[in-house]
Each structure stands twice: as C-alpha cells, then as structure tokens.
Amino acid sequence: MTKGIILLAAGGTGGHLFPAEALAHELKANGYSVHLVTDSRAERFAGKFPADEVHVVPSATIGSKNPIHVVRSLWTLWTGMRAARRLIARLRPKAVVGFGGYPTVPPLLAATGMGVPSMIHEQNAVMGRANKALASRVKAIAGGFLPEGTGAFAAKTVTTGNPVRPAVLEAAKVPYGAAIGDAPFHLVVFGGSQGAQYFSKAVPQAICRLDDALRQRLKVTQQARPEDRDGVIATYEKLGVPADVSPFFTDMAERIADAQLVICRSGASTVSELAVIGRPAILVPYPYALDHDQAANAAAIAAKGGAKVIVQAELTAERLAGILTDAMANPQSLAQMAAHARETGKPDAARLLASMVEAIASGSTVATFKEKRS
C-alpha cells in the first residue's frame, strides 16, 4: 500500500529528467508511487527512471512567429491539456511536480486548473520559459540555484539545490585522485545535445598541440555526436591517445569520478553533479542560450574556486592547450579546485525536495515548510 501517487512532469532532455529521476528515487523510498509525464526524447533515459508508469502527453513550444505554426502549437497544447486532465482525473495524484521543458506545460496547467497541489523545480540560476509561464499558477517553486527572498515569487521559492541521481551520490564517495608525476591523466569531455559538436573540434585540436610527453599520459572520455564520432576517434588514434568516444554514456557519473579534469558545458545538472562529486572543471557556457542561464550556473561554482569559466569565443585551440599543459603540471592546484567544487555541492537536495513535495501534497504552505526546515 503506497502513500499515493506523485506525478512528475519533465522535458525529455537529461537536464530536466535527471533531477526528476533523483526525486523519484527519494519519493519511492518514502512510500509513494511515482508516475512520469514526458515526451518521446526520454526513451534513452527511461531504463533507469524509477517510474511505475510513463505517460506521453501532446505538447509543443511556441517558438515560431509563423501564424500557422503558432495556431498548430496552441492546438497541440490544448489537446495535451485535455489529455493531462483525463490522466490526472484517473490517477488522482497527491501532487504534480514540473521540472521544466515544454512537456511540463499541459500537465501543470491541468493540475492547477483542477486544484491539485502543484509545484515546479527550476534547475538553473535563470528561470526557463516553461517554468516562467507556470510560476504564477503553482503553489511552490523549488530552485537549484534560484535565491530565496528575491524576485517576484520570493514568498513561494525555496532553494533546495538540484537533486542528483543515486549514481552521482555513489560516485561522490570516490576521493579525487591527483595525477602526480608521469601518472595517467584522465580527461572527460562532454557537451550535451547543444555542445558536443564544438568540443569535437576544439579538444582534439588542442591535444594536437601538447608536448608528446603530456599526450602519452592522456586518457580521454569524450561525448561526440554520431556524425562526428568517427572523425574524433581517427584524430585520437593518429595521436596515439587512448580515447573512449560515444554519443552518450550511461555511466557518466563514474567516469567523472575517475577524471582528473572535466571540460564541459554548464547546464544546471552538470554543475550540480560536478559539485557533489567534487571534480575540477573548465566550464564553457553554451553561448546561444536565450537567457544565458549556463553562464549564471557556472558563476556559482567558479566564485568558490571549484571551476574556471571560459567564454567559447575566447577558447582557441592554443589557449586550451595551454590550460591542459598547466593543469597536468600542477596536480595540487587541481586537487584544491576539486575540494572547492565539493564545498558547493548539495548532496541532500533530493531529500529536501522530497520533503517539500510531501509538505505541498499534504496542504502545507511554503511559509510553514520554511519554518519547519529552519
């Protein structure tokens, strides 16, 4: 017998699904049944998501100014909201929690319209468009980096941190291993769906410019798009650098734990996982993000000395080669960065968020939850 159903809604990217997955594990451990509403993009993550059922509800984003596209999107959203209302009426969840991305809009609109306790979790330091559209309607807002006490929704915002998956918490148990002397140096490179292409060119070009002695120490794990993978592999083979190159890694937490240095984008989940595991990173914010949310996320960990932030336009192959050379020559400096990164981590974010969800589901207010928390 469960305590009831909690319905989670998340866009189909890892940035939205990973914190939802972490919350799902916590809620199930607390005796709840968890259902997920998402889109077809989530299929590659579905194997590890602990949902009792996964539901796909029609949704769309209104990103085009073309009147025909706008009308189609609005119709899809209306269809999705009707489907979400039917789903919620059947499941009768205790609460509905959104994690951003346009697939969250229909179920959260349906929930708020039906009087079901609802809240959103915003992973980034800047609120995304879907969550902005929902913020005034939901009962509570949890934030990964959003500060409490400021902004239009300060009264109902709680900074919980970003929940990280059990695999990340397990990886956090591995102490940082400095590569001293001629010891192998494990470099992990990933960019997500909106960054792997850039790194597929920039990182191999930088490694080409390293001294032979440094290249012989390198071991690379790199995410690359399917269309770039063969070229990246060929470059590393030519250089004699052992490399594991793939469009997607199911064990990325373990690979980060094995790393001496990480080069990556600065999405909210990425920054949160790096902080919890405690690994030094070169963060290159995605330059075309509409709200520059990645730059704001990166600033949070960089301010504590846990990472260095470099604008993509300024990261030439020569500069990156110099950064790698300096990093490999100064293992103690990297160890200090790793320690500073860990200081910013919030490994208990999933527990705190689950407590907040349970409070909202039981009819408690955000003010009451804050009082009990402190």
294 assigned to a ligand binding site: yes
How many CA atoms, within 13 angstroms, populate the side-chain half-sphere of residue 247? 7
79 assigned to a ligand binding site: no
How many CA atoms, within 13 angstroms, populate the side-chain half-sphere of residue 138? 33
Quick check: 138 and 129 in contact, CB under 8 A?
no
Cβ neighbours of 160 (radius 10 Å): 27
Phi, psi of 118 (to 5 degrees): -140, 150
**Cross-strand pairs, 157:** 141
Euclidean distance between the first and the last CA atom of the chain, given in angstroms as a whole number: 32
14 assigned to a ligand binding site: yes
Phi, psi of 60 (to 5 degrees): -160, 160
29: which residues sit within 8 A by CB, 6+ positions away? none
197 assigned to a ligand binding site: no
What type of residue sits at position 221?
A: T
Please report, for residues 51, 65, 88, 173, 304, the alpha-carbon distance to residue 5 in angstroms, rounded to integers and kept in the order given.
10, 38, 10, 32, 39
DSSP assigned state of 176: P
193 assigned to a ligand binding site: yes
DSSP 112-138: HHHT--EEEEE-SSS--HHHHHHHTTS
Of 244, 187, 196, nearest in space to 217 by CA = 187
Structure token pair of residue 305 = 């000395």
Encode 74-103: b = buried (16+ Cβ within 10 Å), e = exposed. Answer: eebbeebbebbbebbeebebbbbbbbbbbb
What type of residue sits at position 121?
A: H
- Give the annotated binding-site residues for UDP-N-acetyl-alpha-D-glucosamine: 13-15, 124, 165, 193, 294
- Give the annotated binding-site residues: 13-15, 124, 165, 193, 294
